[in-house]
Amino acid sequence: MAHYSILVTSSPYEGQHAQRAVSFINSAIAQGHTVNNVFFYGQGVHHANGFMVEVGDEFYPLAAWQALKNDHNVTLLLCITAAVKRGIVGEQEAASAGVSGANVAEGFEQAGLGEFFTALHDCDKVAQF
């Protein structure tokens, strides 16, 4: 079976990219494949914004990512540089920048691009959404 790394570069509500990504990951896992990690980069870092609020009956990407983390132990890696540039900050960045609070959602781990590239050595395939 294959080992996947997933790269998410689209924003949470840009078309149906988030829904397709989550569906792809769930299907891969159901077929016996392993999803080693999901790396959020560029506009994709907005998926980790803990201030997102569920609205009505729309697909809620944040809950879907957290479910993948909780149900299948999928590592959710957030590019720290791309995130900070877009106002998505963890506790440490908030404190050093004098920002009133952090907004990285639970379940996401901050990482550098180098960490993602290193993790690619442990996978057979990469899918980008």
State the catalytic residue, choosing from 79, 89, 105, 111. 79
Cβ-Cβ contacts under 8 Å for 127 (sequence gap 6 or more): 4, 5, 6, 7, 21, 24
Helix (H, G, I), strand (E, B) or coil at 23: helix
| Phi, psi of 50, deg, nearest 5 | -70, -10
Catalytic residue check, 79:
yes
Closest residue by Cα to residue 6 from 15, 16, 14, 23: 23
Closest residue by Cα to residue 15 from 48, 59, 54: 59
Active site residues: 79
